[in-house]
Amino acid sequence: MTTATELYARALGLIPGGVNSPVRAMKAMGLGAPIFAARGDGAYLEDVDGHRYLDWVLSWGPLIFGHADPETVEAVVAAARRGTTFGTATEAEVELAAEIVDAVPSVEMVRLVSSGTEAAMTALRLARAATGREPFVRFRGGYHGHADPFLSEAGSGVRTLGIEAGGEGRVVDFNDLDGVERAIDGAACVFVEPVAGNMGVVPPAPGFLEGLRRLCDESGALLVFDEVITGFRVARGGAQERYRVLPDLTVLGKIVGGGLPLAAFGGRADLMERLAPAGDVYQAGTLSGNPLATAAGLSVVRRLTSDVYDELERKGERLDRGLTPFGRFERVGAMATLFVDDYPAVFRHLLERGIYLAPSQNEAMFLSTAHGDEEIDRTIQAVADFFA
């Protein structure tokens, strides 16, 4: 059997940094090779060395029913037997679009794409075209993919690796309405994660999202919610349902694709109809609406009932009670972060005990229906052991 150390040595000669997404590297956590996954089952992940981990990363959030969810796997296999890609329209694309429009309060029309980065950069292009303005406002520590305009002072892996890149946004602090008011004049849009998820989970302050809506209305800017993480996770209709503030455009990803590469952006019909071929804002993708991804997305989204969210909320409250004594614990729905002074040490301690957190303080823990009380209590006890 090939070990992770052997795979990493080989990968370093073939893939920049040995990984295909920077945050998968674990140097910031004081480790050598990253985890090389072999399989997953429910709340557990097994690596190529045979180590079994209780997984709180869940592929960075998409797996709300856990790894290898049988219904999702069955849907994907059935779709694959019919064909993996067609390059033309399918019924499943229409059905998934209908589910999104039904679920997300502000979305009247939606376009399916293949990644959150693609969805975010096109939403920005659309906002610029609709307003005739170029500058935009975004928030320090937020992350909207790796398109150039979004990278300066971004969160998540950019912060973990200490990388800085040029951007075109007017960057202000999250929850700082005064800063937005100073920056918004002449802006095409305000681009925001309604619950910050890439600088750790940071909830919006009371009145913050409402204030953004007001400032956008007053200035003529559009309000864009990046709900790649929060969409279908903090509520079926995302953060906009939970906080009752409606944006003009919404970016979706992760859960909406059921664990396969699929993302989307949508909003008011008058804005979305600016997209080609209906309008003059061009966007295209060979694999957009891929039949395997739409099958997975439909399988997951159609099962996200109020009972599912009630269950996730109960589990989240149990995690709250257990972890709050050990640091600043922030949670919104089924996403949470434990902020501690020496996160790499906590990460290594838990990994040695078979519990896998994100290799970055700036990322969330993600709850799933596959996490039971036993898994939650085991995690709480392992954290308590570290601080004992």
**Facing residues of 89 across strands?**
none
**pLDDT category of residue 32 using cuts at 50, 70 and 90:** confident
Least confident residue range of 193-197, 203-207, 268-272, 361-365: 361-365
Average model confidence (pLDDT) for the chain? 94
Q: Convert the pLDDT of each residue in 156-167 to its tens digit.
A: 554 544 434 344
Residue 143 scores a pLDDT above 90: yes
Check residue 141 and give left, alpha or beta (phi > 0: left; psi -120 to 50: alpha).
left
| pTM beyond 0.75, yes or no | yes
| Strand pairing category for 263-267 and 109-113 | antiparallel
Angle subtended at Cα 268 by Cα 266 and Cα 270, rounded to the nearest 5 degrees: 115
SS3 202: strand
**Is the pLDDT confidence value at 111 over 90?**
yes
Strands 328-332 and 263-267: unpaired
Closest to 109 measured CA to CA, from 233, 274, 236: 274
Helices (runs of H) and strands (runs of E) counted in the chain: 13, 14
The pLDDT of residue 166 is 40
How many C-beta neighbours within 10 Å does residue 384 have?
Answer: 13
Average pLDDT estimate for 245-260: 98
Is the separation of the CB atoms in 198 and 133 below 8 Å?
no
CA 59 – CA 346 distance, rounded (Å): 20
* Mean pLDDT to the nearest integer, 288-303: 98
CA pair distance 277, 209, nearest whole angstrom: 33
Report whether 142 contacts 152 (CB < 8 A). no
The stretch 62-87 carries a mean pLDDT of 98
Report the share of the chain in percent with pLDDT over 70: 96
> What is the band of 294 on the pLDDT scale with cuts at 50, 70, 90?
very high
Per-residue pLDDT at 382: 98
Comparing 156 with 21, the larger pLDDT belongs to 21
> According to the model, what pLDDT value does residue 2 have?
81
User: Which residues are the active-site residues?
Assistant: 143, 226, 254
Q: How confident is the model at residue 148 (pLDDT cuts 50, 70, 90)?
A: confident
- Provide mean pLDDT across the span 28-54: 94
Domains of the chain in start order, with CATH, are 4-64+305-387 (3.90.1150.10), 70-301 (3.40.640.10)
Strand partners, 41: 44
Q: Rounded to an integer, what distance in angstroms lies between the CA atom of residue 40 and that of residue 155?
A: 27
Q: What does the alpha-carbon distance between residue 213 and residue 203 come to, in Å, rounded to a whole number?
A: 17
For the residues 96-104, what does the mean pLDDT come to? 98
- The one-character DSSP state at 35 is P
Distance CA 251, CA 238 (A): 11
Count of CB atoms situated within 10 Å of the CB of 129: 17
Tell the residue number behind the tokens 């309000």, with chain if given.
Answer: 223
Please tell me the predicted confidence (pLDDT) of residue 165: 38
Beta-bridge partner residues of 202: 196
Q: What is the pLDDT of residues 318-343, one digit of tens each?
A: 999 999 999 999 999 999 999 999 99
